[in-house]
Structure 1
Amino acid sequence: MKILLCSKNENILKRWSTGLGSQNSVFEATSVETAYRIMKSNSIELTLLHRTMINEQQIIDMISAKKDTKVFVLSDRPRNEEGISCLRLGCVGYANSYIAHPRLNLAVQAVSSGLIWTGSSLMQHMIQTSSSRIKKTGDGETGRPAVLDKLSKREYQVAALVAEGLQNSEVAQRLDITERTVKAHLSSAYAKTSTQSRLGLARLFSTS
Structure 2
Amino acid sequence: MKILCWNTDEAVWQHWLKVVPKGAELVKVMNLEEAQQALSTSNQTFHYCFVFLADVTFSQQVEDVVLLRSQFASLKLLVFPNQASQQAALRMFSVGVNGQCAPYIGQEQLSLVISVIDSGEIWGGKAFIQQLISQSTEQLNEPSLDMSELSEREMDVVRLVASGLSNKQVAHEMAITERTVKAHLTSIYKKTDTGDRLTLALKAKSYLMVH
Q: Same fold (TM over 0.5)?
A: yes
Q: Which has the larger radius of gyration?
A: 1
Distance in 1, Cα, partners of 2:6 & 2:57: 16
Distance in 2, Cα, partners of 1:83 & 1:199: 14
Which has the larger share of helix? 1
Deviation string for 1:69-103 (max 9, x for gaps)? 66742258x95727527739x99454224454374
Query: Do residues 129 (structure 1) and 131 (structure 2) align?
Result: no
Counterpart in 2 of 1:81? 86
CA drift at 1:39: 6.3
Counterpart in 2 of 1:114? none
Task: Kindly tell me the number of residue pairs found equivalent between the two proteins.
Answer: 179
Query: Do residues 43 (structure 1) and 45 (structure 2) align?
Result: no
Q: Give the gaps of 5 or more residues in structure 1.
A: 30-34, 111-116, 135-139
Q: Using a 3 Å threshold, how does the CA distance of structure 1 residues 161 and 66 change in structure 2: closer, same or farther?
A: closer
Task: Map 1:1-208 to 2 at 5 A.
Answer: 3-4=4-5, 6=7, 7=9, 8-9=11-12, 10-16=14-20, 18=21, 21-22=24-25, 26-28=26-28, 35=30, 43-45=37-39, 48-50=50-52, 54-55=54-55, 57-61=56-60, 72-74=78-80, 81=86, 84=89, 87=92, 92=97, 94-97=99-102, 98=105, 99-101=109-111, 103-104=113-114, 118-119=123-124, 121=126, 122-130=128-136, 147-202=146-201, 203-207=203-207, 208=211
Counterpart in 1 of 2:43? none
RMSD between aligned alpha carbons? 4.6
Give % identity. Answer: 23
Distance in 1, Cα, partners of 2:35 & 2:184: 44
- Do the aligned partners of 1:20 and 1:101 also contact (CA within 8 Å) in 2? no
Q: Secondary structure at the match of 2:164?
A: coil
- Do the aligned partners of 1:72 and 1:91 also contact (CA within 8 Å) in 2? no
Q: Secondary structure at the match of 2:165?
A: coil
Distance in 2, Cα, partners of 1:159 & 1:67: 24
TM-score normalized with structure 1 length? 0.60
Deviation string for 1:142-165 (max 9, x for gaps)? xxx7x4342222211111100111
Deviation string for 1:40-89 (max 9, x for gaps)? 599333752345xx21x32345578899766742258x95727527739x
TM-score normalized with structure 2 length? 0.59
Q: Using a 3 Å threshold, how does the CA distance of structure 1 residues 12 and 153 change in structure 2: closer, same or farther?
A: same
Distance in 1, Cα, partners of 2:66 & 2:125: 27
